[in-house]
Amino acid sequence: MKITPYWLGLALAIIALPATAADLSRTEVEQRLAKADPQHPADLRRKDLTGVDLSNLNFTHADLWGADLRRANFSNSDLSGLNLDLSVMSKINLSGANLANTSIFGVHIGGADLSHANLSGSRFIANLDRSNLSYANLSHANWGVDMQNQPMGLMRVSLNNVNLTGANLSHANLNRALMRYANLQGATLSNANLSGVDLSGADLSNANLTGADLSSCLLEDTNFSDADLAGTHFSDMTDKNRLKGFSTSKHADAAIFKD
């Protein structure tokens, strides 16, 4: 993986963070949440919450912008609609959490657990390498590159070596994402925008790719065994034999290739 100056700087900043005790305990967080309302959100902005068990809580009336959430447990908590930009989230537990329509920009979430999480309609530009997103709901998620807004160079989501087994990515926008060696076995990617994605070494066996856009993708050693390719767009590719497992894929005759 080519490391851009932005991601390198972010990684170094995370490494340099001191190992200090959390600013607040679970009880103190619960007390702030109990007093919060839409006009007066719980102030957790820039707070150090590393390692705190915050599972099964409602954070919809909280401000967590820029907080240090490393190794914190947010399993089954509601963080829908929040702005979590510039927070620190490596190895966080978000399994079963509700992150629908949540914004996460410029964040390192490597090694996190997002299994069974609701990420529908969310906007992520972050590094999620080696994270677990198995059976997560990413339907209508917007994790693609916005080519009209790139002030710091190409900013894109990184999903290398992630587990997306059985995940729902229908109608998701992941254009130009990095998804090398991602596990997408049995995932639903119907009508997803995967244009320009690096899927080298990814496993798409048994995946539903009906109507998906895979134009201009990097597909070296990508596994399409038993995948449903009805209406899948492979523009810029003329040799179908380059696709690993294409001969066993479903509805291969309905895949769309450049003439």
Radius of gyration over every alpha carbon of the chain, rounded to an integer in angstroms: 19
Collapsing DSSP to helix, strand or coil, 112 comes out as coil
Q: Beta strand 103-108 with 256-257: parallel, antiparallel or unpaired?
A: unpaired
Q: Please report the pLDDT score of residue 237 as a whole number.
A: 72
**CA–CA separation, 231 and 234 (whole Å):** 9
Q: Please report the pLDDT score of residue 200 as a whole number.
A: 96
The proportion of the chain whose per-residue pLDDT surpasses 70, expressed as a percent, equals 88
The amino acid that residue 20 corresponds to is T
Q: Does the reported pTM lie above 0.75?
A: yes
**Is 181:211 a contact under the CB 8 Å cutoff?**
no
Q: Please report the pLDDT score of residue 15 as a whole number.
A: 47
- Tens digit of each residue's pLDDT (9 = 90 or more) over 81-110: 999 999 999 999 999 999 999 999 988 899
| Mean pLDDT for all residues in the chain | 91
Over its length of 259 residues, how does the chain's per-residue pLDDT go in tens digits? 455 555 555 555 554 445 557 999 999 999 999 999 999 999 999 999 999 999 999 999 999 999 999 999 999 999 999 999 999 999 999 999 999 999 999 888 999 999 999 999 999 999 999 999 999 999 999 999 976 665 555 688 999 999 999 999 999 999 999 999 999 999 999 999 999 999 999 999 999 999 999 999 999 999 999 999 999 999 877 677 779 999 999 999 999 987 5
- Domain-by-domain residue ranges, the chain? 1-259
* Bridge partners (DSSP) listed for residue 151: 153
Kindly write down the DSSP assignment for every residue of 35-79, as one continuous string.
H-BTTB-EE-TT-B-TT-B-TT-B-TTEE-TT-B-TT-B-TT-B-
> Quick one: fold of 1-259?
Pectate Lyase C-like (2.160.20)
- Alpha carbon 229 to its chain centroid, in Å, reads 23
Token pair listed for 70: 């490393």
**CA–CA separation, 87 and 47 (whole Å):** 10
**Direct distance between the N- and C-terminal alpha carbons of the chain, in angstroms, rounded to an integer:** 32
Q: Please report the pLDDT score of residue 175 as a whole number.
A: 96
